[in-house]
Structure 1
């Protein structure tokens, strides 16, 4: 009996180095290969202009924080997703990419707005990024409990950046997180943001998880499970 041909995965990584795009994506390359993908790695979103390659790509794993992408690259990405290529990623590598492109933001459906810091009395003068690490809970959405990405998982706690996400109503939200309204914050009530979501775009699927600022967060068992499942779910 003939074996099925391997699926094709394209990893696009780069942008701001604070999210360790190489080390972070390297954690998932063996998983993709074990799942039967041929994996190609690129360091520029301009690969999205290669319509021929994207037409045969089953999954794009993007880890490219901020940076820019040409209009042609964003158009190529949107066209490929609409035709059935999957798009997946975590944290700023997908939810804070290409801020200059409204078409990209429309595609993904959720955009990083901020990660509130610790309260003023808790800030360390030399705390650096750790001054933005807060304890918070990722709450699995009750209506999504049987979705294959989060099935069997319970709410879980993290200490890392908590993303406030600007989003639209076309998201299928699998998990949320609620940002507190503290005495020194300018907002006056708690704000609930999507933390894990999917999105159908034409024939393609999109998966986003907002946890993933650092390697230790990616190694959290629930985060790792969600991302691995999300990669497979999004693939053509």
Structure 2
């Protein structure tokens, strides 16, 4: 059974959502996925998303309708994987707390805007991070409100140069988590699409997507379980 992925892009153009969608589409096709690309949140309301292996939202600073977020969270709770990066997933729908609960965090600031900082790998033996060393990075350093249940794979430390009161704060950069039966992966790296040219950033995100995606055998188990549920 071929794995299927849905990419939904839109929102603030400064994060280059369409360009990012093209990059991720290529990565997923290379991995053997059948990929669908949409540019409206209406795609999240389609019950067919429950049959996907993976959903990648790329939709900064936008609104999502109640029925859209309800179907999206239901799909992930049922086993569909969710993976995203930067504001495309971590600052997508500020008023949708159910969505933020699923993601495991929400952007609140990037002191200094585009700056040099360091990404520290905290779980070097995790399959997503294996072989990736801590590395310097040039982008927005995201300050986020995060869920303590996240399994943090990489962090960054704030210097206090641009906001003295957060000097020394260690902030998660990459994490994975479960939401119901679904696996959720997030990386705060990637302000613009060209950052996928950074080998560490690209490798981490590609592996994170593949980790989050529902496996074909799991999809079969879900379908068989659904068949045993009596009709109402």
| Post-superposition CA distance 1:60-108 (Å, at most 9, x none) | 0111111010111111111100111000011000000100111111111
Give the corresponding residue for 2:208.
230
- Is 1:179 the counterpart of 2:158? The answer is yes
Structure 1 segment 35-184 matched on structure 2, within 5 A: 35-51=31-47, 53-117=48-112, 132-141=113-122, 144-182=123-161
- 1:222 counterpart SS class: helix
Report if aligned partners of 2:159, 2:166 keep a CA contact under 8 Å in 1: no
Scaled by the length of structure 2, the TM-score of the pair is 0.89
The CA distance in 2 between the partners of 1:48 and 1:23, in whole Å, is 20
| Post-superposition CA distance 1:124-173 (Å, at most 9, x none) | xxxxxxxx2111000001xx211111111100111111000111211110
Give 1:186 shift: 5.1
Structure 1 segment 200-211 matched on structure 2, within 5 A: 200-211=178-189
- 2:100 counterpart SS class: helix
- 1:6 counterpart SS class: coil
The CA distance in 2 between the partners of 1:48 and 1:150, in whole Å, is 30
Report if aligned partners of 2:156, 2:172 keep a CA contact under 8 Å in 1: yes
Count the aligned residue pairs.
214
- Segments ≥4 residues shifted beyond 3 Å: none
Measured on the aligned residues, the alpha-carbon RMSD in Å equals 1.2
Give the corresponding residue for 1:219.
197
The CA distance in 2 between the partners of 1:147 and 1:45, in whole Å, is 33
Report if aligned partners of 2:158, 2:166 keep a CA contact under 8 Å in 1: no
Give 1:188 shift: 5.1
Give the corresponding residue for 2:27.
31
The CA distance in 2 between the partners of 1:105 and 1:188, in whole Å, is 23
Instruction: Write 1 or 2 for the structure with the bigger share of helix.
Output: 2
Give 1:50 shift: 1.1
Give 1:189 shift: 3.2
| Post-superposition CA distance 1:25-51 (Å, at most 9, x none) | 211212211211111111112211111
The gaps in structure 1 that reach 5 residues or longer are: 118-131
The gaps in structure 2 that reach 5 residues or longer are: 215-232
